[in-house]
Amino acid sequence: METYIYAGFLSYAHADEIVAAKLHHALETYKIPKGQSGKLSPIFRDTDELTAHHSLSEKIRGAVTGSRVLIVLCSPAAKASHWVNEEIRLFRELHGEASILCVLAEGTPETAFPPALLEGGREPLAANLGRSKESFRLGVTQIAAAMLGVGLDTLIQRETRRKRRRLQAVTAGALIFSTFMGATTFSAVTARKEADANRMQAEGLVEYMITDLKEKLEPVGRLDILDSIGDRAVEYYDAQDISKLPDDSLARQARARHILGKVSLDAGKYDEAQAEIEAAANLTQEIYDRNPDDTSAIFDHAQSEYWVGTVFVYQKQYDAAMPFMKKYAALSEHLHKIDPNNLDWNMERAWSANNIGLLEYRLGNDEAALTSYLKGASYFENALRLSPDNSNIQFELANVWAGLANISAKRGEGAVALTYRRNQIRIYQSILERTPDNFKLKYRLVRAKETVFRTNMPDLEENEALEILDFCFKEYDTLIAYDPKNKKWQEAYKQLITFLSENQENFQLGNLETLNLRARIKSLQDL
């Protein structure tokens, strides 16, 4: 029987590093059912960028040789990667075809499968990671089933049973931990020396429990169980003098309080959210004051300022949010000045400019909003130069064009608004060419085109106007067929038909009846 060093070799383009790391972790930590033979770890994932040589290194060749299966993370970047194709060819040469597993991270098989997968007329199947947590979890389960040689139903049924057991265990653990935190708080206040001696261990446990509990409770919809844990943790934290704590203690406490604040924010408990997020901001401010040129300290405090502002945004207190968003922007500019070629820092300053633009727009300050949005657009374009095919950056840039279109339309600049809106539409279409099953983006594209029709009708040729309406109707039909229970999509569809039926005489479109408008008006009662 052949012995392998690795359960699998993960082949991926380094542009997909984030997804690869997430998949790697998910597979290696996947809980195999009791009584089931097989291994999902270790999995080899190379973290070095391969650019210095034209052939695979000895390390890679050795890892491919010693791996039982090859897991190919497919995407447009992987399709274009010389190294991914070479790893596929080498694995096939050494181990044959049966142990090559494909995972679709982005795009379609046509746009994402590396050519080496298709050589010889092959038509491989692929698990699809999708964009939601559930679809990612299903994709991981599909790969795990293939690696273990069991049916997918077996693992899915086991996962359902495990979730029920997990909720029961987590609830019991939360009660035990709450009691522990009460004792720890008392110790911190009444026995300072003993608390200091055990502080590092206690802080690590507090952060772990809050983080771990959130991850486990969120999928089962029971974040309310965190309330008692949070109350005990806050008592423990409030008993400490932050000026005397080391940086790592401050950072751990800030991360935990951020989580508690975000949970409260999602639950609509704005006072509690504000208290926790402002407490976290005080902690990150202390770290930043001690380390004013450390990028981690700058970034962490920038995030704190953003979240304090976001609490006010949730409450529609835009004036109150603005100072914090401006602090976030200043810190983002500081990061970019330290390293102008860092993609993350480029994105942070772009997001900050976009946020300020949105706040100015909601406050009615159109000129200031226009200036901020234009700045945000230039920043996102800089980020795209660093990562040209990044769908996330393209999507963010499209949002900026949408903001600029709204302002221009409000100012009565129809032609300018139309140009910005078309920029937004082109980006959506480009992303959809790579991810045609992204129905949320399809909806955004329909709404953008519909907005062009509604607000720019005088500037459109009749044929273009009819083409837009025909496109919108067909896409709404597709969306509603895909998700018949989606009330948001149904309501948008109704609004468009109602708008057309009430304003037919204003459009002067001789061929409007070719769109079966009467039949669609009648279909409203069926939705």
Q: Is 166 exposed, middle or buried (0-12, 13-18, 19+ CB in 10 A)?
A: middle
Instruction: Please choose, from the candidates 82, 90, 85, 55, the residue with its C-alpha nearest in 3D space to the C-alpha of residue 72.
Output: 85
How far is the C-alpha of 19 from the C-alpha of 21, rounded, in Å?
Answer: 5
Single out the residue in 102, 129, 150 at which a domain terminates: 150
Q: What pLDDT sits at residue 522?
A: 58
DSSP state of 12: -
User: Within a domain: residue 327?
Assistant: no
CATH number at residue 90: 3.40.50.10140
The total domain count for the chain is 2
Q: Which pLDDT score, from 0 to 100, does residue 277 have?
A: 92
What was the pLDDT predicted at 444? Answer: 94
Burial of 490 (0-12, 13-18, 19+ CB in 10 A): middle
pTM of the predicted model over 0.75: no
User: Which candidate, 202, 178, 208, places its Cα nearest to that of 189?
Assistant: 202
pLDDT for position 309? 95
Whether 379 is covered by a domain: the verdict is no
Task: Classify residue 445: in a domain, yes or no.
Answer: no
Query: 150, 182, 208 — which closes off a domain?
Result: 150
Q: Which domain holds residue 60?
A: 6-150
Q: How does DSSP assign 345-396, residue by residue?
A: HHHHHHHHHHHHHHHHHHTT-HHHHHHHHHHHHHHHHHHHHHSTT-HHHHHH
Inside any domain, residue 416: no
Beta strands in 75-210 (DSSP E): 100-104, 126-128
- Residue 105 resides in a domain: yes
SS3 of residue 73 by DSSP: strand
Give Cβ neighbours of residue 300 (< 8 Å, ≥ 6 apart): 251, 254, 284, 287, 288
Helices (H), 191-294: 192-217, 226-238, 247-266, 270-290
Decide if 371 is inside a domain: no
Residue 380 maps to a domain: no
Q: Secondary structure of 43-72 in the HEC alphabet? A: EECCCCCCCCCCCCCHHHHHHHHCEEEEEE
What totals of helices (H) and strands (E) does the chain contain, helices first?
23, 5
Which helix (DSSP H) or strand (DSSP E) does residue 9 occupy? strand 6-11
Classify residue 315: in a domain, yes or no.
no
| pLDDT, one tens digit for every residue, the chain (527 residues) | 457 888 999 999 888 888 898 999 889 888 877 767 778 889 998 765 443 344 567 788 888 999 999 999 999 889 988 889 999 999 998 888 878 889 988 888 888 899 999 888 887 878 888 777 777 888 888 888 888 876 444 444 444 445 445 544 444 454 444 544 444 444 444 444 444 444 444 455 455 445 554 454 444 444 454 554 555 565 666 667 778 788 887 887 888 788 788 878 877 889 988 998 999 999 999 999 999 999 999 999 999 999 999 999 999 999 999 999 999 999 999 999 999 999 999 999 999 999 999 999 999 999 999 999 999 999 999 999 998 888 889 999 999 999 999 999 888 888 899 999 999 999 999 999 888 888 889 999 999 999 988 887 767 777 787 888 889 988 998 998 888 888 889 889 888 888 877 766 666 555 555 556 556 655 655 55
Query: Which of 150, 175, 197 delimits the end of a domain?
Result: 150
What pLDDT score does 338 carry? 94
pLDDT for 208 equals 47
pLDDT at 402: 93
